[in-house]
Amino acid sequence: MFGEMKVFSGSSHPDLAGGIATHMGMPLGRLKVTRFSNENIKVKIEENVREADVFVIQSSCPPVSDNLLELLILIDALKFASAARITAVLPYFPYARSDKKDEARISITARLVADLLETAGADRVLTMTLHAPQILGFFRKPADQLLATPILTNYFRSKDLSNATVVATDAGAAKFAGHFAKRLSVPMAIIDKRRFDDSEKAQSVALIGDVKDRDAIIYDDEIATGGSIKEAARIIREFGARSVRVGVTHPVLSGNALETLRAAELDELVVTDSIPVSAAFTKAMPNLKVLSTAALFGDAILRIHGGRSISEMMD
């Protein structure tokens, strides 16, 4: 068994980190982050962590590279302060979409991030809903993936699902969407989506399944610019859906996402707080619902510290 449990937070998402600590009934660890005029970052741990079981919470949100480097420096500081074990808690994993070599002479950056975390001193990783499950294979240390499916399932179960169909935005999302549809006990459809370049624009060309006169629930792992969701909503309506709601884990919401999603005229957009959503975005999208992941991560941290199963949480 490890020593005392301590939870620290980087600068990326203090609200979520505070919620996790509150759920666990403990304070966040004390540290000081200094950013110098030359853009260098200094992290000082301001309490004793010798032989402690330490969890460090840092999500991937703008500025992504700064937050990643801050996390690496924080882990390194904890390692040299003699923490017994360090777990990097990454609600949204950085560079998760760069998970394969699908072009010549490119970096598989998700694998590089895994290597950097290990080099910095992380003994294990806890994350949620990876863009591709094979990213777990990039780690040589233990890595656990939580799914936001139970959180989203509980929310949509509170609605009328008698005429609902879960829709996957493409074949790659079909496995997660199928798991979601099974939990809700509703049928599933899949959009045939093609991406032809790096412009983050995809074109939906067909629909496998039936949504005519049904309440469609688009299910995906993340929203970036919102283009895929807008295109999916368009084709679903063309095939006769009477309403379109969206359930997504990670609200990346980059580029012109606000304008794109407002143009999509969704009946409801449901996301988690794995990434902070700005107050301005929330105000401009009255049909937006943000669900907390604090209890999910808090329970997972307690299970890891106590040597109990994480997979039981997902069953």
> Strand, helix or coil at 145?
strand
Q: Any idea which residue has 């949509």 for tokens?
A: 156
> Strand, helix or coil at 275?
coil
Chain-centroid distance, C-alpha 68: 15
The CA-atom distances, in angstroms, between 67 and each of 62, 71, 222 are: 8, 6, 19
313, burial (CB in 10 Å: exposed 0-12, middle 13-18, buried 19+): middle
Residue 182 and residue 33: Cα distance in Å, rounded? 44
Amino acid at 57: I
Q: Which of 78, 76, 112 is nearest to 94 (CA)?
A: 112
β pairing state of 124-128 and 85-90:
parallel
Positions annotated as catalytic residues are 193
CB–CB of 222/248 below 8 Å? Answer: yes
